[in-house]
Amino acid sequence: QQPVQSPQAVILREGEDAVINCSSSKALYSVHWYRQKHGEAPVFLMILLKGGEQKGHEKISASFNEKKQQSSLYLTASQLSYSGTYFCGTVDRGSTLGRLYFGRGTQLTVWP
Amino acid sequence: NAGVMQNPRHLVRRRGQEARLRCSPMKGHSHVYWYRQLPEEGLKFMVYLQKENIIDESGMPKERFSAEFPKEGPSILRIQQVVRGDSAAYFCASSNLGTTDTQYFGPGTRLTVL
């Protein structure tokens, strides 16, 4: 089922931090995070496969709380290039089909 | 290593015409997924294919839409007798192992139905 993302939109100044949340009503096998800039393809950021797993990519990191069926994406010391729409995609536990259910996205705007 | 390729990037059709969208997966990938994105919305799953097989088409409308991934050549999403509501961006993604492996997206085809 489609996960719920919050907040819907975030406006930051360069250097500020942000947290984007993704929660599901179903047990999850994995969570996938993407960033999409206007008119472009979604770009893969990271995948979390295990409950409690945390990953980092430069100043962007994420965690996966399997029990709570949710994941959070952390953007630290944001840069102008971080602007875009962030989507989480989830794969339900027990799924053998691999389809991703995407949230509606969180629009992040970073101002100088 | 070329990424996922899609063509055309932009496609304009009149109501009632057919639209054919092509997707070439990343080299070595045999799993292809098609998603549709309406303006200001998220990505909606349509269909999942492996070479010569449709694995999951539960997200695809029953009528007018079909998809294939032949042994040779790109995957094709076909929309017959297009209507204005079909206007959207259509993305394909590919993965190596399927199931929960990372899906890499192509640049998309933006379909406009006049």
Q: Of the candidates B42, B56, B99, which has its C-beta nearest A102's C-beta? A: B42
User: By the 8 A CB rule, do A62 and A80 touch?
Assistant: no
pLDDT at A55: 67
Instruction: Work out how many CB contacts closer than 8 A connect A with B.
Output: 69
**Model pLDDT for residues B40-90, shown as the tens digit of each residue:** 778 999 999 998 899 999 999 999 999 999 998 999 999 999 999 999 999
Chain B CB contacts of A100 below 8 Å: 33, 43, 45, 103
Ordered alpha helix ranges (H), A2-112: none
A69/B3 Cα distance (integer angstroms): 32
Q: Which two tokens stand for residue A97?
A: 């089909």
Candidates B23, B43, B57: best to mutate against A (most CBs of A within 10 A) is: B43
Say yes or no to pLDDT of A51 above 80.
no
Quick check: A41 and B107 CB within 8 A? yes
**Residues 6 or more apart in contact with residue A78 via CB below 8 angstroms:** A12, A14, A15, A16, A17, A18, A59, A108, A110
**Model pLDDT for residues B10-53, shown as the tens digit of each residue:** 999 999 999 999 999 999 888 999 999 988 778 999 999 998 89
Say yes or no to pLDDT of B97 above 80.
no
